[in-house]
């Protein structure tokens, strides 16, 4: 019961601290320069010629270095894919080998049980036909 009171008290204190810090951060300095909507728009948008130059520069590819980087990324992806499929193949082969071993062991046990049950004392076979 004491720990619930302690948790409630700590939550209440954290709520009070947060509300105080939020109200202090929300105050606006009256000396701050206020921007009109047109000034804000001029700060955000570029002149058309500057924008077209920017996009022309950005659309050109750095031919050799960029191709090498893309090739490294593709090679790394292909290597990861190959390792993954190789691992899956190895796991499947191990599963098949264990399954075959279990089947062989079961059939061997069944054959041994059959021989023990039907043994008539006439072993070895050389004595059967004389």
- What are 56-113's pLDDT values in tens digits? 776 566 688 888 999 999 999 999 999 999 999 999 999 999 999 999 999 999 888 8
Give start and end residues of each alpha helix (H) in 27-129: 37-44, 48-59, 63-117
- What are 28-62's pLDDT values in tens digits? 555 555 555 566 556 677 788 887 887 777 656 66
Between the CA atoms of 19, 20, 26 and 27, what dihedral angle is there, to the nearest 10 degrees?
150
Phi first, then psi: give them for residue 84, nearest 5 degrees: -65, -50
pTM of the model: 0.39
């Amino acid at each position: 019961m004491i720990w619930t009171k302690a948790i409630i008290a700590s939550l209440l204190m954290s709520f009070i601290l947060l509300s105080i810090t939020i109200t202090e951060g929300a105050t606006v300095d009256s000396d701050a320069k206020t921007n009109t909507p047109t000034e804000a728009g001029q700060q955000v948008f570029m002149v058309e010629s500057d924008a077209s130059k920017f996009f022309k520069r950005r659309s050109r590819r750095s031919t050799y270095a960029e191709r090498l980087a893309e090739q490294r990324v593709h090679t790394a992806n292909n290597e990861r894919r190959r390792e993954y499929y190789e691992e899956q193949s190895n796991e499947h082969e191990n599963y098949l080998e264990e399954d075959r071993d279990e089947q062989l062991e079961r059939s061997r046990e069944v054959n041994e049980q059959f021989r023990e049950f039907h043994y008539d004392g006439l072993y070895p076979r050389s004595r059967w036909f004389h």
